[in-house]
Amino acid sequence: MNTPDPAIAARAPWGVQALLLATGDALAARFGAVAVRGELSGFSRAASGHCYFSLKDADGAPALLRCAMFRRAAALLDFAPADGQQVELRGRFGVYEARGELQLIAEALQRVGVGTLYEEFLRRRARLAAEGLFDASRKRPLPAWPQVLGVVTSPGAAALRDVLTTLQRRAPQVRVVIYPTPVQGVDAPPQIEAALRLADRRREVDTLLLVRGGGSLEDLWAFNDERVVRAVAASGIPLVCGVGHETDITLADLAADLRAATPTAAAELAAPAQAEALAALQARGAALGAAVERTLQQRAQGLDLLALRLGQPGRSLLSQGQRLDERGARLLRALQTRLQSQAEAPRELARRLGRAVAVQLQRQALLLDAAQGRLQAQDPQRVLQRGYAWVESADGRPVVSAHALVPGQQVRAVWADGQARAEVLSVEAPPPLG
C-alpha cells in the first residue's frame, strides 16, 4: 500500500477562482508580452468601447485564439478592424474568470495584410463582376403587391422567425412558402442552390427572400460560393437577399435584385404594410367618388339647360324672325343704295330687281311660315289645344305607355283649358313587342 506524500496531503484544495487566478499569473510570468499574427474573425465592438474577436491562422488551421481589447487600447487604433484582415497583435495572456476561458488581452493591434478568405472574396467579386452578374441593368423591380413570398433559409434559424414575425405584423394577408436549406457549412452551398432552383421551377411565389442572420466571414461564406451567386443571378423570380447584419456584404447580396441590411429589412422591403395600402386605397376611393359627383353635377346642369330650351320654343321662333327681318332690311337698304348709285340704268332693270326682291322676300316669308309652323307644332300647349291631353303620374312623371299604368294608380290629366286627377280602373293594352 502506497503512503501519500505528506506535502501533498497537507495542501488544501484550490478554489475555482483562486486556481484561475493562479493559472493566469503563471501564464503571464511564463510568456510575458507576446506578439502573434493571424486573421481576424468574429470582430465586434461593445457599447462600452471594448472589442472582442478571435485570431486564426491564415492557412486554414483549426486553431482559434480568443482576444479582448479594452477601450483605452481600442481608442488608439488607426484603422477599422474587420473580419478577414491579417493583423499583428501584441499583448499578454490572461484567464477570463467568468467563463474560465484563456484569452489574449491585446495592447496593440496593427494591420499587416488581408486574410486568405477575404483575398478569395475579392478575387471572386472581381471575376463575377467582369461577367456582368452584378450589373445594375440586371436588377428587376419587386412586385408592388405580392400575394405569396418564398423564404429560402434554415427552418430553425432566427432569421426565419424574424421574417415571419415582421410579415405577420406588417402584411398578414401575404402567404409564405418556405424552402428549407442549411445556411452554413460545407453542405450549405449546393443545398441553397437546389432550393433556389426548386423555387424557380415551381413558380408559386411572387418574390423570393434569401435570408440568414449575422456571423463572421467564414460563417457567411456559403453566400460567397460561386454556385449560390450564379443561382441568385439566374433566378426567374425577383429576389431580395438579406444576409447578416448591416455591415455584412456577400456576393449573393451583389447578385440579388435588391439587398436588405437584415432579414427583417428584407421582409419589410418585399411586402408593403397593410395599413399603408388600405389608406392609399381609401384615398383613391374618395378621389374617385368626388370625380363621379362632379361629372354627375355637370351632366345635370347640361340636362337642365336642354330642358329649358325645349320648353320655350317661342323664344327661338322670335329670335329667328328678328334675324330674318334684319337680313331683309339690310338687303333692301343695299338694293336701294345700289339703285341710287346707278340711277342712269334702265327702268326695266329696276323693275326686274324689284320683282327679284319681292320673290326673294316672299320665299323667305314662306320659309319663315314653314319654320314657324314646325316650331308651333312642337309646342306642347298647341298639341293640347287640338284636343289632346297630357297624362302624368302622381309624382309628376309623364306616362308615355299604357304598360306603365296599374289599376288603382292615381294620375293627372292635363288639357289646354284645365286638368283633372283620376284613378286607373283597368289597363287594356297589347303586350309589348319583342
pTM, to two decimals: 0.48
Among the ranges 7-21, 137-151, 236-250, which has the highest mean pLDDT value?
A: 137-151
CA separation for the pair 237, 242 (Å, rounded):
16
Which among 411, 350, 165 has a CA at the least distance from the CA of 266?
A: 165
CA distance 228 to 251: 9
pLDDT tens-digit map of 67-105: 999 999 999 888 888 888 888 999 988 888 777 788 889
| Residue recorded with cell 495572456 | 93
pLDDT at 314 exceeding the cut of 70? no
pLDDT exceeds 70 at position 283: yes
Per-residue pLDDT of 222-279, as tens digits, reads 999 999 999 999 999 999 999 987 777 899 999 999 999 999 999 999 988 777 777 7
Q: Is the pLDDT of residue 346 over 80?
A: no
Q: Is the pLDDT score of 347 beyond 90?
A: no
Beta carbons within 10 angstroms of residue 174's beta carbon: 21
Dihedral sign for Cα atoms in the order 113, 118, 120, 125: negative
CATH 3.30.70.920 is the classification of domain 120-272 = no
What is the crossing angle of helices 226-234 and 188-202, to 10°? 10
- Look at strands 258-259 and 148-153 and give their pairing: unpaired
Q: In sequence order, what are the beta bridge partners of 89?
A: 36, 109
Of 5-14, 16-25, 328-337, the poorest mean pLDDT is in 5-14
156 CA to centre of own chain: 30
Average model confidence (pLDDT) for the chain? 84
Between the alpha carbon of residue 21 and those of residues 15, 18, 27, the distances in Å are 10, 5, 10
- Letter string b/e over residues 97-116, b meaning 16 or more CB atoms within 10 A of that residue's CB: eeeeeebbbbeebebeebbb
| The pLDDT of residue 9 is above 50 | no
The domain spans of the chain are 13-114, 120-272, 313-378, 386-423
CA dihedral over 427, 428, 430, 431, signed as positive or negative? positive
pLDDT at 2 over 60: no
Q: What are phi and psi of 400, to 5 degrees?
A: -105, 0
Q: What was the pLDDT predicted at 194?
A: 96
Classify residue 271 by its DSSP letter: S
Cα–Cα nearest to 202, from 177, 184, 228: 177
Higher per-residue confidence, 317 vs 108: 108
**Mean pLDDT of the region 40-60:** 88
Residue 226 to residues 72, 229, 239, 367, 431, Cα–Cα distance (Å): 41, 5, 17, 93, 81
Predicted pLDDT at 343: 61
Over the stretch 173-218, which tens digit does the pLDDT of each residue have? 899 999 999 998 888 999 999 999 999 999 999 999 999 988 777 7
Determine contact, residues 239/210, Cβ cutoff 8 Å.
yes
Most confident of 24-38, 112-126, 165-179, 362-376: 165-179
Cβ pair 232, 251 in contact under 8 A = no
Q: Which CATH class is domain 13-114?
A: mainly beta
